């Protein structure tokens, strides 16, 4: 060891100095043995240093090899960009997968993932309702397959109306923490575009439209039929607002209007109508 070499070297120097100070005091054989041991231990220390340097170099090479293997091993793992469930596998174990590094190469994905705890509903919104759509708007989503109505939220819309369909693509996120819904199910969405209180409304089926005109068939106090133009406002799923042309309490025909003529006398059968779209939905259930 290095400590041993230091002790042997110090002993040789001491003997050498004593022999120089008092010739004949130290036997030449003893001095030669001390020098030999000093040189031998020095050679051993140098050899140990060389062996240590070689080992360190080998360790560095091994570390580089290990890092290279780790890098190569990383290429054997496919990491998903999201937490989900594999719903389709396009490749089997041992299959050769073509790299999809170029858009010119048509390659299949390895697997198809589904993030089922949050579903996205794509909804075409008619152009006359586009102005009411805003990010964060709440939407009632009805899924008949599971007999549930959930609340979704508008997260994205294109701001562009399709020329062919006159609709704007809108995306709605629906939470599905209990995983009761499955991707691909059909849903009906009801958007609360505009709300008014204390307005005159009639059932949608009471309003006839022709070349931009809106009309209703009114039954007066003498049970005579009168065709009357009206101005309509916002429309819900079952009711439509009447802004002008009709007074509260007047009776309207809600079906088969083409069977009646102006001035004709009828025997009306009164039917209760819902006072709101919500009442209509409850009545249907």
Query: Per residue in 111-127, pLDDT tens?
Result: 888 888 889 999 898 88
166 and 239 fall within a common domain: no
pLDDT at 169: 93
230 and 164 fall within a common domain: no
12 or 111, higher pLDDT: 111
Range of the structural domain that residue 50 is part of: 2-73
Average pLDDT over residues 98-116: 72
pLDDT band at 284; cut points 50, 70, 90: very low
Q: Is 112 within the bounds of a domain?
A: no
> Considering 191, 217, 247, which residue would you say is the last residue of a domain?
191
DSSP secondary structure of the chain: -HHHHHHHHHHHHHHHHHHHHSTTSS-HHHHHHHHHHHHHHHHHHHHHHHHHHHHHHHHHHHHHHHHHHHHHHHTT----SS--EEEEE---TTPPPPP---TTS----SEEEE-TTEEEEEEEEEGGGGGG--TT-EEEEEEGGGTEEEEEEEEEEEEEE-TTT-EEEEEEEEE-TT--S-TT---EEEE-----SS--EEEGGG-EEETTEEEEEEE-TTSBEEEEEEEEEEE-SSEEEEEES--TT-EE--S-GGG--TT-B---------SSHHHHHHHH-
pLDDT in tens, 168-185: 999 999 999 888 898 889
CATH number at residue 184: 2.40.30.170
Q: Is 155 within the bounds of a domain?
A: yes
Answer whether residue 152 shows pLDDT above 90. yes
Tally of structural domains, the chain: 3
pLDDT at 146: 92
């Amino acid at each position: 060891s290095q400590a041993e070499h230091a002790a042997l070297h110090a002993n040789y120097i001491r003997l050498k100095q004593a022999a120089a100070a008092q010739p004949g005091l130290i036997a030449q054989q003893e001095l030669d043995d001390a020098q030999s041991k000093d040189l031998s231990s020095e050679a051993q220390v140098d050899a140990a240093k060389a062996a240590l340097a070689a080992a360190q170099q080998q360790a560095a090479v091994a570390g580089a090899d290990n890092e290279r293997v780790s890098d190569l091993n990383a290429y054997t793992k496919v990491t998903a960009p999201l937490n989900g469930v594999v719903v389709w596998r396009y490749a089997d174990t041992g299959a050769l997968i073509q790299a999809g590094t170029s858009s010119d190469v048509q390659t299949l994905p390895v697997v198809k993932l589904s993030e089922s705890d949050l579903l996205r509903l794509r909804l075409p919104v008619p152009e006359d309702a586009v102005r009411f759509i805003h990010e964060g708007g709440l939407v009632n989503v009805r899924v008949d397959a599971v007999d549930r109505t959930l609340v979704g939220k508008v997260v994205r819309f294109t701001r562009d109306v399709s020329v062919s369909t006159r609709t704007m693509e809108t995306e709605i996120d629906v939470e599905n923490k209990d995983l009761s819904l499955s991707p691909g199910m059909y849903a009906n969405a009801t958007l609360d575009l505009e709300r008014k209180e204390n307005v005159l409304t009639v059932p949608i089926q009471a309003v006839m439209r022709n070349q931009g005109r809106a009309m209703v068939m009114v039954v007066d106090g003498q049970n005579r039929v009168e065709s009357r133009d009206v101005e309509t406002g916002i429309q819900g799923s079952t009711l439509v607002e009447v802004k002008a042309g009709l007074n509260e309490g007047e009776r309207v025909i809600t079906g088969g209007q083409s069977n009646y003529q102006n001035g004709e006398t009828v025997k009306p059968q009164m039917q209760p109508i819902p006072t709101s779209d919500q009442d209509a939905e409850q009545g249907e259930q």
